Amino acid sequence: MKLDSVRELKQSLPVHLSKTFAVRAAAGRTASLAVSRAAALERVTPSYFLGVSARGKKDYRLALRLQDRALEKSELVEQCRAKAKGEIDVRYVGRVRAAAAPWYRSRQRPLLIGSSIGFLANGFVMAGTLGCFVRSGRSSALYILSNNHVLADENRYPKRGHIVQPGTLDRGSPSADRVAELTRFVRLDPAQTNLVDCAIAKLNPAMAADLHKLKGIGTLAGQRRTDLETGAVVHKVGRTTGVRHGRVTAFELDGVTVEYDLGILTFDNQIEIEGSGQRSFSDAGDSGSLIVDDDMMASALLFAGGDHGGSNGKGVTYANPINAVLQALAVTLA
């Protein structure tokens, strides 16, 4: 068929084949299902769509794409086939959905390092990143490690406040997705120099966690004992940008000024990282990500960044040395 003929045919069809027809045809095969299911079927309309399919050079057919299996042997297909005089390409394609959220912005059970997490905010939604799992003292209880501003809302969240995974920005349910309770945090202080932005939240009983897997990177091997130096290759997985690789551009940075809700805070002894290739190392929502070195050793906790600078111009990221974080919270890696 010529392209113009197919186009003409395509234009003529929707007039005769309404969405209602498709829904009825779909529902017809499932008459025994409960009413609620029938209502669900109605929501998926339209159940088919039309297009043009090329068979060869200057040889075209009407394309009919079905979103419901029930339509495959329906009157709809036969009518279209007759109108197209057999010059038709019918295929079942199922439901066409917007791209699904990546795993790190989705619900993860067991809990995974790098996934979305956050506190329950009043009047807004938020999300940061689950850094890793730690233990406190001799107890076997597990805690989530992330930033103060991810788990404790910059000192404002109450002790034992609920932590949800995924965070509410990623549609975490304030009730069904509670996974932990805020235990303690290092206070962020606008009036003094800060060293860390960190907090821990105790996992709810029976909440399973994959303690060492950094999906897309490898298995956490332990804790780096020396500070990262310039040139060290590092990796992280976080809620917004997923897996990113980078390189340390400076260390022992003092007087790093960072904008918070509390105001501008100053941090000493920080690590600066730029992203590899043409990408940034992090973006908003990656706060709390655990940063590992090339040997998969926990090295730093990501907390801040900007959009300028770095040799690729994609901005720089700032992180607290992991030793300072674990020491300040009196915890050890799980």
Partner 1 sequence: MPVSLERARAAKESAKALLGSLPGLAGVGITKLGEDYALKVNLREALPPGMSVPERIDDVPVCVEVVGTIRKRS
Applying CB under 8 A, the residues found at the interface with partner 1 are: 118, 126-128, 147, 149-150, 197, 229-231, 249-260, 270, 272, 282-288, 302-309, 315-318
Spatial contact of 145 and 325, defined as CB atoms under 8 Å apart: yes
Q: Which is nearer to partner 1, 203 or 304 (CB)?
A: 304
Cis? peptide before 110, omega within 30° of 0: yes
Residue 59: its H or E element: strand 59-66
Residue 249: both structure tokens together: 């551009």
Q: Is 275 exposed, middle or buried (0-12, 13-18, 19+ CB in 10 A)?
A: buried
Structure tokens at 163: 């932590």
When the beta carbons of 112 and 256 are compared against partner 1, the nearer one is 256
Smallest separation (angstroms) from partner 1 to the CB of 294: 17
Terminal-residue alpha carbon distance, the chain? 67
Nearer to partner 1, 90 or 151 (CB): 151
For 180, half-sphere exposure in the C-beta direction (CA atoms, 13 angstrom radius) is: 32
Which CB atom, from 67 or from 146, has the smaller least distance to partner 1? 146
Nearer to partner 1, 216 or 309 (CB): 309
* Shortest distance (Å) from residue 247 CB to partner 1: 11
Residue with tokens 């619900």: 107
In the sheet with 88-92, reading across from the earlier edge strand, the strands are: 48-56, 59-66, 88-92
CB 192 to partner 1: min, Å = 16
Q: How far is the CB of 216 from partner 1 (least distance, A)?
A: 19
74 or 129: CB nearest partner 1: 129
Give me the least distance between CB of 129 and partner 1, in Å please: 8
In the complex, least distance from residue 333 CB atom to partner 1, rounded to whole angstroms: 22
Question: Given CA atoms 189, 315, 98, 8 in this order, what sign does their dihedral have?
Answer: positive
CB of 307 to partner 1, least distance (A): 6
Contact 265, 188 (CB under 8 A): yes
Is-contact 120 164, C-beta < 8 A? yes
CB of 257 to partner 1, least distance (A): 5
What string of H, E and C letters represents the secondary structure of 141-188? CCEEEECHHHHCCCCCCCCCCEEECCCHHHCCCCCCCEEEEEEEECCC
Judged by beta carbon, residue 9 or residue 152, the one nearer partner 1 is 152
Q: Is 72 helix (H, G, I), strand (E, B) or coil?
A: coil
CB 230 → partner 1: shortest distance, Å? 4
Cβ-based nearer residue to partner 1, 229 or 294: 229
Residue 248: burial class (beta carbons within 10 Å; 0-12, 13-18, 19+): buried
Measured from the CB atom, is 47 or 115 closer to partner 1? 115
